[in-house]
Amino acid sequence: MKNEYKRSTGLTQKNVQEHNLTTILRGIYETGVCSRVEIANKVGLDQATVTRAVQKLVEKEIVFESILSKKTRQRGRRSIGLQLSANRYRLVVVRLQRLSFKVALLDLTGNILEETEHPIDALQKPPHIFDLIVQAIEKVMTDCSEAVLGMGLTLPGPFLEQSERILLMTESPDWENFDLVHRLRKHFSNIPLYSKHDAKAAALSVWKTQGITEDSEVMLYLSAGQGIGAGLVINGEVFRGSQGTAGEIGHTSIKQDGPQCYCGNYGCLEIYCSRLTLFRNLKANSRHSLPYPLNIDDVVQAYQMGDKEVVKEVDQMANYLAQGLVNVINLVNPDMIVLGDEYSRFGEPFLETISEKVKECLLKKVFENLRFQLVQEKDDLVLSGSFHHVLQSVLFKTHNPELYN
């Protein structure tokens, strides 16, 4: 039967072996820690095939073996646990934002081994920022003695994932004329580079930590901070749209007669409730207790301490976000909304303000189907999502000479 399958599909023995390796790796990645028996049952391969494949993965130091703790009433020897190894390989991920960029080095288990953040001056042009990013990456690479399997780059939107070009970065002009992804790929030509929209990367990470647990079928991740974006996850898959720009909630209009946005639309949500706008409003309101220059840590603390003027300005951001969410909810009918990025730090009172405003504007049955949550993961979700994107692209891709030769 197997030989007939190979003949009918044109698969060689090497093809089948590589397919088995990637299938087993995916199973280990999705499970976290599991025994050979568990992984055989999960992926539908016999134990002998799993044992041979796992041996190769252990020799390559992609998979690590450990002793599992005994389950209740378990007899005999403890099982050997399989998990991705943190020893031999590394991934580098870069997050570009309007006011800063981050570079992080991670092992295959997702542990951040090194992370740096670099401010971006408003007057700096893309070519100069590109040089700073390259320098930061090279610094991380110089300090790393392990093999780097891949690199991830996340960008604010609108971002064309298909052609890997920034269409617009609000209040940061010139990026649409600078081919950042391809320049970075050319500079680091020996390392595969994978780009992704920042909100979609974060949505992937949130789905793994919260969406699966909550059994969500349609999860909307709202990224609110320096920019406003969203990622839609439908049955475990991040929805991209035809060009990769799906989720640009920040460029949906909440006021038809509002000011014109850089994107050409009028009254865009991002104009009214980004962190840049919040800071401008706070600067214009001298009755609060905040020191200057403003920073998000002080604003969050003042909000939580009940500074009336700060609470008023932050709650206005929540009301605007609710308006934008109502439009999206009526369009895609999610069952779960997760708030992330900087605004999630305002906590449950901020989320409750959004929820109550949304409730006023939705049909009762539609609202009752919704669950609102803050992100549970405390690390940078965009970096985490970029890590998962790169890891999946590297490990689950057959014909990877670094892994399978």
The pLDDT mean for the chain works out to: 87
* pLDDT digit string, tens, across residues 281-310: 999 988 888 988 999 999 999 999 999 999
b/e per residue, 57-70, with b = 16+ CB within 10 A? beebebbbeeebee
SS3 content of the chain, % helix, strand, coil (to 5): 45, 20, 35
- Helices 13-31 and 36-43, interaxial angle, to 10°? 110
pLDDT at res. 2: 46
Whether the predicted pLDDT of 156 surpasses 50: yes
- Does 7 score more than 70 pLDDT? no
pLDDT at 6 over 50: no
- Between 67-76, 114-123, 335-344, 380-389, the lowest mean confidence (pLDDT) is in 67-76
Q: Residue 227's pLDDT is what?
A: 87
Residue 69: pLDDT over 60: no
Residue 168 lies in a domain: yes
DSSP-assigned states of every residue in 281-308: HHHH-TTS---SS--HHHHHHHHHHT-H
Is residue 3 over pLDDT 60?
Answer: no
Say whether both 175 and 301 belong to one domain: no
Percent of the chain scoring above 70 in pLDDT: 92
Count of domains observed in the chain: 3
Q: What is the CATH number of the domain that holds 66?
A: 1.10.10.10
Among 4-8, 179-183, 268-272, 331-335, name the one with the lowest average pLDDT. 4-8
Q: What is the CATH number of the domain that holds 177?
A: 3.30.420.40
Q: Provide the pLDDT for residue 403.
A: 60
Helix (H) or strand (E) holding 101: strand 100-107
∠ CA 173-175-176, nearest 5°, is 100
Tell which of 51, 84, 117 closes a domain: 84
Domain membership of residue 328 (yes or no) is yes
First to last CA, the chain: 27
Cα distance between residue 160 and residue 123, in whole Å: 25
- Identify whether residues 172 and 59 lie together within a single domain: no
Res 5: pLDDT: 41
CA–CA gap between residue 314 and residue 393 (Å, rounded): 39
* Residue after which a domain boundary falls, among 69, 84, 99: 84
**Residue 206 within a domain:** no
Cβ atoms of 251 and 269 within 8 Å: the answer is yes
Judgement on whether residues 292 and 311 belong to the same structural domain of the protein: yes
Same domain, 69 and 172: no
How far does Cα 218 stand from its chain's mean position? 17
143 with 114, same domain: the answer is: yes
pLDDT of res. 402: 61
Note whether 231 and 267 are same-domain residues: yes
Q: Which domain holds residue 6?
A: 2-84
Question: What predicted TM-score, i.e. pTM, was given to this entire model?
Answer: 0.74
The predicted model gives 192-205 an average pLDDT of 90
Q: Could you tell me the pLDDT band of residue 405, with boundaries at 50, 70 and 90?
A: low
Backbone angles phi, psi at 227, to 5 degrees: -135, 175
pLDDT tens-digit series, residues 381-403:
889 889 988 998 888 875 565 66
pLDDT digits (tens, 9 = 90+) for 244-261: 888 899 999 999 999 999
Which letter does DSSP use for residue 178 in this model? S
Q: Select the more confidently predicted residue: 51 or 1.
A: 51
- Are 124 and 184 in the same domain? yes
pLDDT at residue 73 above 50?
A: no
How many Å apart are CA 272 and CA 252, to the nearest integer?
A: 11
Whole-angstrom Cα distance, residue 8 to residue 185? Answer: 38
pLDDT at position 8 is: 46
Residues 241 and 109 in one domain: no
Residue 171 burial by Cβ neighbours in a 10 Å radius (0-12, 13-18, 19+): middle
DSSP letter (8 states) at residue 208: I
231 and 178, same domain (yes or no): no
